[in-house]
């Protein structure tokens, strides 16, 4: 059985968040460098940013009070040898 603390998942999430943000930046810089930043693109970008902020805020609020030291099982051999027993999950 392999267990890891919950904060490892949080670090993976934060790394992924960094990748997503860099792609947001690449998309936005495409609009700026190609001179396509007009009312439509500004409105659409604003809409995307607003939804992203909402998503991050909802994530932050939902995760408040989480014990990040909580162990999480990422591999248990019983999942293969005894998959029909619900207690192994």
Partner 1 sequence: MHIDAIVKIKSYEKVIYVLRRHWLTFVPYLVIFVALIFLPMAVYWFFSTVFITVMQNPATMPVLILIGSAYYLSVLLFFYSFFVEFYLDSWIVTNDRLIDIRQISIFARTVAEVDLYQIQDVSSEVHGFFPTIFNYGNIYLQTAGPIPKFIIHNVAHPDKLRQAIIELASEDKKYHAGH
Q: Quick one: which of 63, 75, 77, 83 contacts partner 1 (CB under 8 A)? A: 63
Q: Is 87 in the site for partner 1 (CB under 8 A)?
A: yes
Q: Quick one: which of 2, 67, 80, 84 contacts partner 1 (CB under 8 A)? A: 67
Q: Where are the beta strands (DSSP E) in 1-86?
A: 2-5, 71-75
Q: Is 55 in the site for partner 1 (CB under 8 A)?
A: yes
- The Cα–Cα gap between 61 and 54 comes to 10
Q: Is 36 in the site for partner 1 (CB under 8 A)?
A: yes
For residue 29 the two structure tokens come to 């810089």
CA 76 vs CA 1, 4, 88: distances in Å: 4, 12, 8
Q: Is 16 in the site for partner 1 (CB under 8 A)?
A: yes
Q: Is 76 in the site for partner 1 (CB under 8 A)?
A: no
């Amino acid at each position: 059985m392999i267990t890891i603390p919950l904060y490892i998942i949080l670090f993976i999430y934060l790394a992924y968040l960094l990748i997503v943000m860099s792609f947001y930046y690449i998309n936005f810089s495409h609009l700026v460098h190609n001179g396509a930043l007009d009312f439509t693109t500004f409105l659409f970008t604003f809409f995307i940013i607003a939804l992203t902020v909402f998503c991050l805020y909802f994530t932050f609020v939902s995760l408040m009070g989480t014990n990040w030291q909580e162990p999480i099982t990422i591999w248990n051999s019983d999942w293969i040898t005894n998959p029909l027993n619900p207690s192994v999950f």
